[in-house]
Amino acid sequence: MAYSGPTTVATLDALLQALVDWAVANAGFTDEGNISPPSGRTTTYMYRLSKGGMYWYFMGDDVTVGGLPDGYIEFRCQTALPTSANYSSISVGPNQITRAQLWRNTTGPYTAYNFFTDGSCVHVVLEVSSGVFSHFSFGKVTKFGTWTGGEYTTAWYSTSYATSGDIGYNFNGGTAAFSGGGTSSSYSGQVYYPVGSFGDYRDWARISSQVTNSQRAQFMTFINFNTNPSIYNASLMGPIYYCGGNSVNQRAAMFPQYLLLYQSTLTSNWLAGYADHVKYLNIEFINAKDIVETEWEVFPLIQKSGDKTVAPLSANVGLAYRRA
């Protein structure tokens, strides 16, 4: 229902303050004020939002990977107002904090940001440098049926950069925004689903391929960055995605971001809802920032092509966001 961008931004602090202001104005969030972050963070403040009794915070951080500094946005959803004391507490939130990769550009400046929302989900596409993107999202999914929860975080983060074949980078311990292919060590995101009413980290389903604490959440995005059709055979939508590139009229099939939650008693997933205003698609014949189907803006998952030493190549995997 709202869109803003592309907007050049000089610093990570400026980006996060703009995000807070925009989420309040366009998606019904409440600004809970900025506070000093825990020591060692790369932003001046911890930025805080709330909605419907749940809270989110955002701040910058960095680590050393491959001998070089690597920055990311650290953010989390939790049941209590975030502070420098409880920001990682497993009594009020998941046991893992979500990270949005900044591809070694820890504090900016950044080429541009784009914000999208349906009023419930807030999607951020940050162009870290020209043609290189970072996607992250938070809010609450649209539910099928009645169940408690649905608040989420999701992003991309990778913890290893070993050069490897045609891909150029080797991703270990990471997965894409709105995916389900991560591992227990990934920082991809969490969905609030207090099916056991534990009142702690066990009320959160990690976005992952693995079941942890009888919980698992999965969205729809593929993260396979090659052109071998056999890798998509495990998914009903896989063959459609693989054949979805269209050079004639840009009408590539776009797939909704359905949310699957794990039902431990049945040892299988159930269709719980979806994140609106975002879909994934094959962008083989579509360029970064093209507008398709009148109002959907298309972005590579990271970079479609370019310098592999700057950021990984995500080939034809893309995400499209609704601008209206």
pLDDT tens readout for residues 151-186: 999 998 876 655 544 444 544 446 789 987 766 667
- Asked if residue 109 has a cis previous peptide bond (ω within 30° of 0), the answer is yes
Is residue 296 within 8 Å of 283, Cβ to Cβ? no
Rounded-to-integer distance, Cα 136 and Cα 22, Å: 15
Q: What is the pLDDT of residues 238-249, one digit of tens each?
A: 666 666 677 666
Paired strand residues for 286? none
Is residue 302 within 8 Å of 284, Cβ to Cβ? no
Is residue 99 within 8 Å of 72, Cβ to Cβ? yes
pLDDT computed for residue 238 by the predictor: 63
Is residue 306 within 8 Å of 312, Cβ to Cβ? no
Q: What is the pLDDT of residues 55-92, one digit of tens each?
A: 999 999 998 766 667 899 999 999 999 999 999 999 99
pLDDT computed for residue 67 by the predictor: 63
Is residue 3 within 8 Å of 289, Cβ to Cβ? no
Chain-centre distance of CA 297, in angstroms? 16
DSSP 162: B
- Number of structural domains (the chain) is 1
Residues of the chain with pLDDT below 50 are: 164-168, 170-173, 227, 229, 231-234
Domain with 180, as residue range(s), is 2-322
